[in-house]
Amino acid sequence: MSNTIEAAVFNSAIGLTAWNTDCKLGPGTVTPTLGVFDKETASYQQLVKVQTNSPHTMRSYTIGSGPAEGYRVLLLTPEAPSRIFDLPIELREMIYGYVLIDPNAIELKFFTTPGHQRIVQKSFPDSDAARINEARDWDSRMNKWKRRNRNALSILLLNKQITAEAIKVLYGANTFRFDDGKVLKEFRYTLDLNHKTQHLRRLQLAVPNVGDLRDALPAIVRIPSLRTLQLSPPRTWLTHSDGPRNLMFTCDGLLKAAQGREAAGMISRQIEHFISALECACFGCITRRELGMSAAAVEASKLPDPDKKRLRCRRSKVAIAQHEQFWKNFRELVKTQYGADKAG
């Protein structure tokens, strides 16, 4: 392209070259042609497919003055490189963590729409009643917010490199909680399809009975880089003298996998702490964790009595003691059975 009209389109540019190197017309594009007349739209249509070696945006313009007045052009603008890549990877990971890491466990469940079932996050802190942004208007006719809250996961849509780096933080630094073994198995299967299972590090499992626990464990064993599993033992085991031993034997395959070659270097804690108690999910315990306070610190503080009561665990002292004794016995059994060496 170097004739007078083409030069005028680009303000007398003289360094124009044909599209035959890093940017070219793809297959299916036929030039020159008037296009095909479409009777339904009463317009000429032509397929233009552009292939480039780098990201770009394409916009259409009409020349408004000069020798090329009335000409229509397609302008390809190369995508500017993101300045975030000027930062060291350590700083980029800190940014991803600030955006993507949730201080509380991310609860997942099934959401069923007509003809389709998918896994969704059970709760979103930004949508809590106490945090509603009043500037967002509610459309009562459409039954939805007129303007959406920001979604932290949108950072994954910026480009492929950011996605590859941020995915490791999203799945590796967060804790995922499941109240249903079927959801866990579907979640792991979905990650397997996208080669993301390797990033999972922390899981919480709160299943009510022995059968659900046994159904869920095979899916957990196949998570190669798992570092910690917090679970709630079946209720019948908490009050039974053989409960800790039953849990150890049920988790035998998982405990052996944590010590195997495949997990080498992945788990830095003693094997008896690899499987541990699920954190209490009552209001008092959740609030204490958000404040970074232990139960003992609350009692020793100078907070008013009403505030202390609000931050206390809702379980009875008997239930707390029973729970602690169960896990103490479990750790001792695991240490004796599998040795004191580090998992991995």
pLDDT of residue 252: 93
Report the DSSP beta bridge partners of residue 56. 78
- pLDDT given at position 39: 82
Do you find a cis peptide bond into 32, omega within 30 degrees of 0?
yes
Instruction: Give the pLDDT confidence score for residue 89 in this predicted structure.
Output: 92
Give all strands (DSSP E) within the chain, no chain letters: 23-25, 36-38, 43-45, 50-52, 56-62, 72-78, 106-113, 116-121, 138-139, 144-145, 175-178, 202-205, 228-231, 275-277
* pLDDT of the residue at 29: 60
| Other C-beta atoms lying within 10 Å of the C-beta of residue 3 | 8
Predicted local confidence at residue 108, as pLDDT: 85
pLDDT at 343: 43
Residues (pLDDT < 70) of the chain are: 1-34, 80-81, 111-150, 261-269, 340-344
pLDDT of residue 82: 72
Identity of residue 131: R
Amino acid 144: pLDDT: 61
pLDDT of residue 2: 41
Q: At what angle do helices 317-338 and 243-250 cross, to 10 degrees?
A: 50
Report pLDDT for 265: 46
The 10s digit of each residue's pLDDT in 159-193 is 888 999 999 999 999 999 998 888 888 889 888 88
Residues 6+ apart with CB under 8 A from 53: 22, 23
Quick one: pLDDT at residue 43? Answer: 81
Q: What is the pLDDT of residue 230?
A: 94
